[in-house]
A and B are shown apart, each in its own frame.
Chain A
Amino acid sequence: MIDRDSPVTSDELHAYVDGMLPSDRRPAVEAWLATHPDDAAHVAQWRAQAEAIRAHYGMVAEEPTPERFNLDRLTAGGRRWRAIAAAAVAAALIGCVVGWLAHGASANAPSAFEQFTAEALNAHKLYVTEVRHPIEVQAGEAHLLPWLSGRVGTTLRAPDLQSYSLKLLGGRLLPGLNGPAALFMYETPAGERYTFYCARSNTARTALRYNAAGDAAAVLWVESDIGYVVSGPAERNRLLDIAQTAYQQMEARVPTRATENLPNARRGS
């Protein structure tokens, strides 16, 4: 017997969506939904959400299982396996980039972004307040980019941020986690300063990440082993816009070999 007026609880609506409703309550819930359009709308939305979640993540379980999850390997090496892998990566990279990975190899993956961003933010905070010497080399000097490119080990470009009234003041060289880092400084006519930090990263690629720390904030991304951080006043939307612009300009760059800059780098330094 179906009691059409028996009150249906919110828990039962969830259970109905999740297929966990006892079958004897099904008719009552369905009758309820037929006469309560608000609840029916909720049920439809919850179903759509569940569908979207399954559609977006479901295929992860269909991917072939990566070798790192081989249980024999995990038992044999345990955490050591990770250290070995990190060491192997480090050894390979040291072959190409001697000495630049002193700290990088041991940095553990979850905190690498935070460390990287913290380095950039520290540099930002240190130098934006500098009145007389915010930069080492002026924007107008021809050797600025070749010099920093040579030291960081990739062809760097300072993004054009004129559309935000940001004028490039110049740049400086800094010690970074994985080797030399370049810091470019920009300024608005009102004296507001933003910095653009570039250095080698242990991670090949990431999406953009926003990080606020007090009154300064940073947006980080990694592309082709180079990490970029745009730092500025903690005004989220503006900073994101600026970072997007810088990101697009970096994306659009024509790949050139960093070594082409080396002769200039020597001249510059």
Chain B
Amino acid sequence: MRPDNVFVLVTRAGHNTLTTTRVERLVGGFRQGVEASVPALRRYARALTRDAELADDLVQDTLVRALRSEHLFHGGDIRSWLYTILTNLNRNRLRALARRPTMMAIDENDAPDMAGPEAGGRDIERALGALVEDQRTALLLVVLEGLTYREVAEVQGVPIGTVMSRLSRARMQIKDYLDGKRPALRRVK
């Protein structure tokens, strides 16, 4: 059986109605579930950080943390749980970075060998880079990872209404950015 199936089943059953057999299958499938989530975690981390090396470091830290905290996983969707760990680790990373001078990747577009079909991708990459972290996280979890609004709210630890407004602001900002109103300056509170 594909490990994914175990967790889909468990998710649909809900936390309170887990039967013993399902719990056993869940425990047995924990590692498989984590393993099967690696490709999606790498995709999410890559889009979050827009830096392949950083992203993979983040995924590795997430996996180590998850394996160590297996006893804290009480069922539910293992992917959401992993997304939560990764999102928090990324937030900690950014907090640590904020104490140092800020760094951001800049246009590679000017280099002559960067033209071609990838140019559109770079636009979206830069537009994502201009977003506030919480908005970027919400948008990516929805459009790239296919989480429901409720799941995103759980990952981010906020009410659904907050997720909706983050999503809405992210989309408006990306539109403005792509329309050429750049640089999309971050508003400092």
Contacts and interface: CB of A to CB of B under 8 A. Distances in A.
Interface of A: 10-11, 14-15, 18, 20, 42, 45-46, 49-50, 52-58, 60-63, 65-66, 68-69, 71, 74-75, 78-79, 82, 109-111, 113-114, 117-118, 203, 207-213, 219, 240, 244, 247-248
Given A15-B149, A18-B143, A244-B110, A209 B103 contact: yes
Given A46-B171, A49-B143, A57-B46, A109 B164 contact: no
Contacts of A61: 39-40, 42-43
Contacts of A82: 60
A124 to B, nearest CB: 13
Nearest to B110: A244
Contacts of A110: 54, 57, 93, 97
Given A45-B171, A61-B42, A53 B101 contact: no
Given A74-B64, A110-B54, 15 more contacts: A14-B164, A18-B142, A18-B149, A52-B124, A53-B144, A56-B120, A58-B144, A68-B56, A69-B63, A75-B67, A114-B100, A114-B101, A117-B101, A210-B103, A219-B106
A238 to B, nearest CB: 13
Contacts of B68: 78
Interface stretch (B10-18, B20-28, B30-38, B80-88): B30-38
Nearest to A13: B168
7 contacts: A18-B142, A49-B175, A55-B121, A69-B63, A109-B53, A208-B108, A209-B104
Nearest to B108: A207
Contacts of A219: 106
Please classify the interface of chain A as helix (H, G, I), strand (E, B), loop, or mixed, using the class held by over half of its residues.
helix
Interface in B79-136: 93, 97, 100-108, 110-111, 120-121, 123-125, 127-128
B140 interface: yes
Contacts of B39: 60-63, 65
Pairs A-B, 10 closest by C-beta atoms: A56-B121, A61-B39, A50-B143, A60-B43, A61-B43, A52-B124, A213-B101, A57-B47, A210-B106, A60-B46
Interface string B146-189: 00110000000000000010011001001100100000000000
A109 B57 contact: yes
A49 B171 contact: yes
Contact of B175 (A45, A57, A74, A109): A45
A117 B97 CA distance: 14
A55 B123 CA distance: 12
A188 to B, nearest CB: 22
B78 interface: no
Nearest to A50: B143
B128 A68 contact: no
A39 B93 CA distance: 37
Given A14-B164, A110-B54, A203-B53, A69 B60 contact: yes
Nearest to A247: B111
Contacts of B107: 208, 240
B47 A10 contact: no
Contacts of A54: 143-144
B34 A71 contact: yes
Contacts of B142: 18
Contacts of A208: 105-108
A71 B60 contact: no
B132 to A, nearest CB: 16
A35 B107 CA distance: 40
A52 B140 CA distance: 12
A117 B46 CA distance: 23
Contact of B103 (A58, A62, A114, A240): A114
Given A109-B57, A209-B104, A53 B167 contact: no
